[in-house]
Structure formats: structure tokens, C-alpha cells
Amino acid sequence: LKYDIYQVLGFGMFFGGIAMGAVVQPWNYGVVWDAGTLGALAGVVVVGTAIAFGLYLQGVSMIGPVKGSIMDKPDLTLYLGGTRSGKSARAEARVFQRADGPVLYVATAEARPDDPSMTERIRRHRARRPENWRTLECPLQLGEHIGTALAEFRNTAGTPTVLLDCITLWVSNILFSLPDPEDLSAFEGAVRLETEALLDVIRSSGCQWVVVSGETGLGGIEPTRLGRNYCDGLGLANQLIAAQAR
């Protein structure tokens, strides 16, 4: 680094003090500058600011700016991959390894009589989950329904873990819930609204989160307008979630 920690701190406090002085104008207040006042001021500056912030900067310099920047992010891991790439199995394995409290499995797929293949996939997913995992089947409004389900874990031991599988089908459910699925503007607006509601729950829950999504459209451009719209919406959701992941 060009400047050391205390040079950065000193310049920051100096220019910050000038700016705040112009706003607060402390010279207009009747302060008695005796030994007690000066001692208290020195304590605030040295202990409450210089030492505390100096230790913070020292820590960032030790672990690196990348790790330092993720400390304020939720405990969120995002798994991306192609169809049948094993992403769900890897996400479940991570939960097996890390979970130290109750687990909420959120499934966005819907079993339909006209789709026996999806019904079979759902059956296989259910069969490999432990019996003590709670399952929430939720095709839409994830933020609202997950928030309600997590309220039941407030007095349980350990940190709850939420495994959400998957964003791909959830975005598809959003698309076909709209009056006009080919209206890209309305679709992206709905995806953004629902994703932000989900992220609000993720950020405020204090839980461990493992989220699974797909990379539909990664290999090429869809030939239909509906397919292109779907890929755009899924890409938007993946970007918003990835930005919060560690």
C-alpha cells in the first residue's frame, strides 16, 4: 500500500473533522476546556476511533480486501449449473456437512399430471432428504412464505439452514403466472420484485442459506421470444442473488 493504516486514518479524521465542523460549528457552544474535558475527548479519539478503526484496517490488510468485503453479507451460498449437472446433490451435501440446527427445504417445483418426468424427479428428491428436514413446497412468493416458516424455528437450538431448490423453476412459475408471459418488461419487474422480497428475508433471517439455480441459456440464444424472455428473467434473478452470496 502507498500509505500505511494510520496515515489513512489521520487524513480521514482531519478532513472529516473540517467538514463536520462547518456543519456543527462547535465553537458556538459554551464548552469548558478543563483537564476532564480534554481527557474525555482524548479517550474518544484514541480508544473509540483511532485504535478501533486501526485494528479494523489491520484486520482487512491481513485477510485481504475480498474477504473483508464479504463480512457484511449474509451466509448465502449459490450453486449454479446446467440441467442434471448434480448441483442439487452438491447443495444437499453442503447442508449435511454444515447444518448445526433445523433445516428447511424449500421446493419450487410443482407436480403436474401432464408431466410424469417432473413428478419422478420430485419423488427422487423427496426420497433422499432426511426425515428431520422440514419441506416447504412453494412455487411463488418465496419471501413471504419462507419468512412465515422460519418463525417456527425461533426457539430451536442451533442456526437454521434454508436449502432453496431451485430458482430456475421459481422464475418459470413467475413467468407463467403473468397475464401475458411475452411481456418482458412486466416479467422482469415481477422477477425483481419477488427476488428483492426473498433477499430481504435472507439478509434479516440470520440463517445459513444454500440456493440452487440453473444456467439456462448459457449455451446459446433461444429461438422463441418466450424462451428469450425466460432466460433474461432467470439471468436477472441469478445476478441479484449472486451479488449477495459469499
- Residues annotated as catalytic are 125
Return the residue matching grid coordinates 478543563. Answer: 34
Which residues lie closer than 8 Å to 139 by C-beta, 6 or more apart?
108, 109, 110, 169, 170, 173
The answer to whether 124 and 117 are in contact (CB under 8 A) is no
Residues 47 and 185: their CA atoms lie apart, in Å, by: 53
User: What sign does the CA torsion over 149, 154, 155, 157 have?
Assistant: positive
User: What is the grid cell recorded at 36?
Assistant: 476532564
* Other C-beta atoms lying within 10 Å of the C-beta of residue 166: 20
Q: Distance between terminal CA atoms of the chain?
A: 25
